[in-house]
Every structure is written in C-alpha cells, then in structure tokens.
Amino acid sequence: MVPKDENDLGTIDSERSQFHNERYIFPIGYTVERTYMSMVDPNNQTTYTCKVEDGQEGPLFTLSAADAPEIELSARTATGVWALVIKKANEVRQKESSNAISGPEYYGFAHPLVIEMIEEMEGVDECFRYKRRHKEL
C-alpha cells in the first residue's frame, strides 16, 4: 500500500487547510492499491485503487475495485469511503458490519515509508497544522 512511484504521491495543496491535519497530509492525486475483501464476490479478495482527488471544499477520497470497475465510491474522509467498502463487503457475505477501521491507515498514510515520502515533498512545511514525524535533514 505504498505508492508505486513518485507520480502517485500527488501534489501537496498547502494553501487549503482541509488537505492536512496534525497527523496526515492528503496530497491531491495520491494513488495507492490495496487488497481487501470483494464487494461483489463473497469468496474472493480484490485490489482497490485508492485516490485523493480535489473535491473543491477539501479532499475527496475515492475507491474503485478491480472486480467491479463500474462502482466508484467516494467520501469526504478516508474512513468514510472505507466504511462504505466494508459495509458492502460484509453485506455480500451476509455478515453484520461491525468492523472498526482507520481510513488513513487503509490509504497508507500511517505507513512509515509513505510518511517519509510525503514529508520530502514540496509544500510540506507550509502545512501549518501538520506535525512532522521525521526530522529534517
């Protein structure tokens, strides 16, 4: 769940405070893939493409599944969009939806390498609410 290359990190919008908080920065264009239970096939997992898009009023977190590309889910928070996936995945398995999740973790924002990569990007120092986790070189 680490971006494949530098282009998948996106760009930091430091001028709009909605694109960062104390713990995370949400670069526009950030893209990762993650494997999780399918929303359409109760017996399989699938690959989800997770993106951060410019929702004008703040980040828009979107997900699409490799086995159901016609379904694109979105929410204003990473947790919100992953909650939709988990709900649908549990419904197709006829299970109660009681999973507690951290959307930023599912997006990879808590991964040490992702944190380091984002903190090396241009604009990170202008994200006034964000607290660096790695020391500057």
**28-48 pLDDT tens trace:** 999 999 999 999 999 999 999
Flag whether 99 is in a domain.
Answer: yes
**Structural domain containing residue 28:** 6-119
The CATH number covering residue 25 comes to 3.30.160.360
- Main-chain phi, psi angles of 47, to 5 degrees: -95, 130
Pairing of strands 31-37, 59-65: unpaired
d(CA 76, CA 97): 20
Question: How many separate domains does the chain show?
Answer: 1
Flag whether 134 is in a domain.
Answer: no
Contact predicate 75/107, CB 8 Å = no
Flag whether 1 is in a domain.
Answer: no
Instruction: Tell me the pTM.
Output: 0.91
Nearest Cα to 72, choosing from 106, 49, 100, 105? 49
What are the tens digits of pLDDT across the range 68-116?
999 999 999 999 999 999 999 999 998 876 667 899 999 999 999 999 9
Flag whether 135 is in a domain.
Answer: no
Flag whether 127 is in a domain.
Answer: no
